[in-house]
Amino acid sequence: MTNPRILLIIGGGIAAYKSIELVRLLRKAGYVVRCVITRAGEQFVTPLTLAALSENKVYTNLFDLKDEVEMGHIQLSREADLVVVAPATADLLAKMAAGIADDLATTLLLATDKPVLTAPAMNVRMWLHPATQRNIATLRGDGVTVMAPDEGEMACGEFGPGRLPEPAAIKNAIDAALAAAPAVTAMVGQPDFAPANHRPLYGRRILITAGPTHEPIDPVRYIANRSSGKQGFAIAEAAAAAGAEVLLIAGPVPLPTPPGVIRVDVETAVEMADEVRQGLPVDAAIMVAAVADWRAADPAGQKIKKDGSGAVPPLALAENPDILAGVAKSAERPTLLIGFAAETNDVIAHAEAKLARKGCDWIVANDVAADPMGGESNRVHIVSKTGIDSWDRLPKAAVARKLMEKIADELDARSPCQSD
């Protein structure tokens, strides 16, 4: 198989300097890299540097006739296996969402028929602005992969989400995007779990939900819970490391995407239920997300105000879809279906009742009264029809790895994976 080909589009902003390290990592991994740099990007990174690292010509100008003779913009946009935009500025994302093609970079993005992955980088207020969030939702709806930005201190002195993900994280996202493409071997870029010739979940497809859901009451308030998403993300990372093709459906949490994982972000329980249905069939589904039981029956279109009377406004609730029970009843029910239960009392009894009520295979239960959500460790009990397996307290990453070993053994017993 030929080496995967990346078309890297470099936008403006101080974060553009990280593209140099990204090109180096991609070339070291065997990727063929062609770079396109915007006029703003050239203020921070020189085409000469990119050309030396990529060992390919760097493209800057849509109207260079010599380039059009050698390689037209249509061909350039379609010869790659994946188009990557890093950094993707607010301006670039807005133009992509609107279908504007006013320079070489945006023309290539509009002309390409290949998957597109973007790594945003901008000021925290620009990232959180409703216009940017609308553009991101549009792009994701169009099938573009939009990475979550890192959170931290920025060059402008502000703090929050908006930092360009580190080059290694972008490279891992590229690996995952290519793993999802039919023409590329499914395990490209997966990190090692064990010796290279033995990954216990190689060839398996696993769906994982993680984090909370946010159920709007009005444009500024919502019903939620304290779930951090840390355990679900640790499980996704461990599953990918074990060789599985992993789909992570995440509620609103500011966590980086684990290496080798395909991530879909949602906000509400209804959105999560829809994405789970679309993600089936899989070999195993691990439903870690703390999904809100109820949502506002009729969210207000404007912020609900106090009227000074002391009267509490009514809040009618509607029950959210039961995602775990729905998957259990589905015609595409996974071979192994696992639910999670965060309980504050009678942990084992509640888990056993949930196992019977939901129709799943295992319930992973933990006591959130003794171990509040958001911590770095867990003490879990695996409840099944055959008994209870109680584990000592472990870091969440260790819980995830141990769970993957148990899942791999169970899947092998139930449905041996047929290797090529």
Residues 170 and 86: their CA atoms lie apart, in Å, by: 8
**Does a structural domain hold residue 194?**
no
Whether residues 224 and 82 share a domain: the answer is no
Whether residue 254 is found in the same domain as residue 368? yes
**Considering the domain boundaries, does residue 192 fall inside one?**
no
For residue 32, is it within any domain? yes
Our measurement of the distance from residue 16's CA atom to the centroid of its chain's CA atoms, rounded to an integer in Å, reads 23
* Residue 308 token pair: 């000074």
Q: Which is nearest to 403 in space by CA: 235, 188, 195, 214?
A: 235
Do 51 and 27 contact (CB within 8 A), yes or no? no
Give yes or no for a contact between 284 and 207, defined as CB atoms under 8 angstroms apart.
yes
Q: What is the pTM of this model?
A: 0.55
What's the CA gap between 64 and 61, in Å, rounded?
6
Q: Are 250 and 234 in contact (CB under 8 A)?
A: no
At residue 146, φ and ψ (nearest 5 deg) are -115, 110
Structural domain count of the chain: 2
Same domain, 105 and 26: yes
End residue of a domain, out of 126, 144, 179: 179
* Same domain as 131, residue 62: yes
CATH number of residue 154's parent domain? 3.40.50.1950
Considering all CA atoms of the chain, what is the largest pairwise distance in Å, rounded to the nearest integer? 74
36 neighbors 60 (Cβ within 8 angstroms): yes
Name the catalytic one among 35, 156, 360, 417. Answer: 156
**203 CA to centre of own chain:** 20
Claim to verify: residue 220 and residue 82 sit in the same structural domain: no
Grouping H, G, I as helix, E, B as strand and the rest as coil, residue 158 is coil
Q: Give, for all 420 residues of the chain, the pLDDT tens digit.
A: 457 899 999 998 888 989 999 999 999 888 999 999 999 999 888 898 898 888 888 888 765 534 444 445 566 777 789 999 999 999 999 999 999 988 899 999 998 888 999 999 998 999 999 999 999 999 999 999 999 998 877 666 677 888 999 999 999 999 988 886 543 333 333 444 444 335 789 889 999 999 999 999 999 999 999 899 999 999 999 998 888 889 999 999 999 888 778 899 999 999 999 999 999 999 999 999 999 999 999 999 999 998 888 888 899 999 999 999 999 999 999 999 999 998 889 999 999 999 999 999 999 999 887 666 778 888 999 999 999 999 998 999 999 999 999 999 999 998 765 543
Alpha carbons 162 and 174: distance in angstroms, whole number: 19
Name the H helices within 180-242.
Answer: 230-241
Instruction: Tell me which residue has tokens 């695996």.
Output: 382
Residue 35 domain boundaries: 5-179
Residue 156 is a catalytic residue = yes
